[in-house]
Structure 1
């Protein structure tokens, strides 16, 4: 009888197969959830600008800058040199005097941390040159404006825009944005 009593005695809860059949999917879901949340927190996208309110307010200035560039018949050709990480710009248009320096803004489509502001110095009438620190690969949005004060209190008179994919080529034309 003592053998029957021992065989009818149940095993500890962690040795029961039904416990593991019920709990293993739940435990797996909790572990996967923690992994996915940690990945999302560490590698979140910068698709939406943090200054969306300011950007939307400045839209009217943007339209005026584009129209001013059209009125001046401004256009340019920008060429990147991956060997020495330099950029050159040929600017043409109906400007009475060319600015001494221009600002090139390289905007990465996804990672805002990779955006770069480059000052292009005039080397001759309508020709500008600068150095790039960003990696010259994949796709970037380009914007060229005349340089204004460092505090950003003034708005540039005009701007030219473009888009480049370094997988396709190293040069791209710049023109005013279409409205």
Structure 2
């Protein structure tokens, strides 16, 4: 009688009662690992010593900007795909400047905008797509992003596009 009432092993309810939590844990764990690898946070630098050595050089750029009395206001006109900068200070205005937008979390989303002088201290450049959320801004006369430490001066700022589309730029305060 037992042989006729016996079901195949995969149709026994007690088996699935035992295996279900294990299968669920494996699926959820695999999903979490995939998400953590895909969206890894790259805000922490692995080169602490090198970064601290370079601080001296970058502080010199801020001091030079303060000596020149540099300050600016950057305006993003997303609808027109345009960026406008008003730069003030005691300097001979260069023909072009580089505005770097650094994403606070994802370094691969950083953008570099070449600004060309229109008149006086007014510069303009173009953006390819509307921006959202918060970004860190850096303005410098060095046109190649990898050579930012060679720039004579720099201005920094921060913008949150959820709050507005303009931001002041100034030398970093010590």
Q: Check whether the contact 2:142–2:148 (CA below 8 A) recurs between aligned residues.
A: no
Query: What is the CA-CA distance between 1:19 and the residue it aligns to?
Result: 2.4
Q: Check whether the contact 1:105–1:144 (CA below 8 A) recurs between aligned residues.
A: yes
Q: Check whether the contact 1:114–1:134 (CA below 8 A) recurs between aligned residues.
A: no
Give secondary structure in 1 for the equivalent of 2:80: coil
Unaligned runs of 5+ in 2: none
Corresponding position of 1:144: 139
Corresponding position of 1:124: 119
Q: TM-score, normalised by structure 2?
A: 0.86
Question: Across the two proteins, how many residue pairs are aligned to each other?
Answer: 174
- RMSD, aligned CA: 2.5
Cα 1:135–1:49 change in 2 (3 A) is farther
Cα 1:105–1:6 change in 2 (3 A) is closer
Q: TM-score, normalised by structure 1?
A: 0.84
Which has more radius of gyration?
1
Superposed CA deviations along residues 1-60 of structure 1, whole A, max 9, x for unmatched, are xx4x647x7544333333222221111111111122222222333323576665444222
Matches of residues 90-129 of structure 1 in structure 2 within 5 Å?
90-95=86-91, 97-129=92-124
Corresponding position of 1:74: 70
Unaligned runs of 5+ in 1: none
Distance across 1 between alignment mates of 2:156 and 2:98: 12
Residue 35 (1) aligns with residue 59 (2): no
